[in-house]
Amino acid sequence: MTENVRVRFAPSPTGYLHVGGARTALFNWLFARKHGGKFLLRIEDTDMLRSEGAMVDEILHSLRWLGLDWDEGPFYQSERFDLYNAAVERLLAEGKAYYCFCDAERLKSMREEARKRGRAFRYDRRCLKLPEHEREKLLAQGVPKAVRFFVPEGTTTITDAVHGAATFEHKEIGDFVIKKADGSPTYQLAVVVDDHDMRITHVIRGDDHFSNVPKQVMLYEALGYEPPQFAHLPLILAPNRAKLSKRNAAVAVSDYRNSGFMPEALRNFLALLGWSPGGNREIMTLEELIDAFSLDGINRSNAVFDVKKLEWMNCEYIRNLGRDELFTRVKPLLVDSGLIDDDFAAKNANWIKRVLVLLQDRVRKLTDYPEAARYFFTTDFDYDERGVRKHFKGAEILEIMKSLRERFARAEELSLETIETTIRGLAEEHGIRAGKVIHPTRLACTGRTVGPSLFHLVEVLGKERVLERLDNAIEFLKSDVNDGKPKASEE
């Protein structure tokens, strides 16, 4: 059933968008786009105490950041109570539901007793057996009441796109609440009414909802609705096979957004959690994901959230960014870090792009850029302590740095060829390996012992900046390292 596909993502605004929820949204979105259908967004905010408007905004922002646009909605369940109440009244009138006046204390006691006996809690139908006059009396007195669905005898069989055929015994379920005593609908009722009203054809959601299927199918049948096709996705586990939680991984999409992961990378990574496109493909464009996606490719086994793989994938996406796009994404991070301001960025955009491209293979996340590129924008850095001990020792180093500074100063421009010829020529004159010049020069220019190719680094820094850094290093080498002059620090 893929004609006129209509799917939905229905988060509860009681917290941030979880990566598991994002994966569910992505699978629904891919399925809709693959079949030319509609992707609906529904906010399940019937839990008035726990739902927060700020969380709705955060969920919408995270979905947009991932590039998951919706065709209809967002619809809010809190604005649809009339529909739910009408469905409840209909079930009551047809004898398919009944009022339950049991208070919380009695229900708690029953649950505790069931737990002690090692049994699942099932309501004993006490209120179903109430005489009519007693029921009317309780109603007239305004005693708080819930509404329970009367579970008929028999079984419910469904065919899930992932699990296959499954049969549920009704005797194991028990009459369940469809309307709470505070007047709000339960999840089981609201989701059925909404999915029917919104003409949802496929319900694609997490495996933790699989146990809800028989209750919902019974409600579909009781209300005369045609059930949708179900597809329950495997759970996402932490690397230690425990349930994914804040204790073993970041779980909110916003955590990854704020940590410098690219939306394309996270989206690509999530798509491969529990689904296989075939052909051992991993890095895939959005168009390729849409074209390859199918419910048949969803695995039954649980998926593992491997952050290291996500980081690798993020690196690949960063490496493939064009210089202009790279600048667009990283510039705000450089501004926020205080390394540059908007005016400097506007006047020096081309140079900044050269800096970013030079470091493109050396960052794992976009947020790595401010620290990785810091020495390009300021001379306020310390020299790596181990680097000083290794590369700034010996009287000859001071003379080498002075000579290098003089030769760079005389050069018309610091081209790659000029830089390499000068450094290698200086090493040859002193009868030392080129590394004996390269490493001190890197330390002088950056304060660090590792980084991109020194020749490219010096070229991008430019003559003026390089001379300034060499001057600072020469002063440092002239002085006693511990006399309060420029400091060396452990990185």
φ, ψ of residue 487 to 5 degrees: the values are -90, 155
Chain center to CA of 184: 31
Name the amino acid, one letter, at 9: F
Give dist(CA 24, CA 204) in Å, integer.
7
φ and ψ of 414, to 5 deg: -95, 80
Q: Which residue has the tokens 């569910």?
A: 24
**Measured between alpha carbons, how far is 319 from 116 in angstroms, rounded to an integer?**
58
Alpha-carbon distance of 310 to 454, in angstroms, equals: 30
Maximum distance among all Cα pairs of the chain, rounded to whole angstroms: 111
Q: Which of 129, 179, 243, 246 is catalytic?
A: 246
Nearest to 466 by CA among 399, 415, 414: 414
Residues 62/22, Cβ–Cβ less than 8 Å: yes
Distances (CA, A) of 338 to 60, 259, 377: 29, 18, 10
User: Is-catalytic flag, 393?
Assistant: no
Instruction: State residue 179 phi and psi, 5-degree precision.
Output: -145, 125
Active site residues: 246
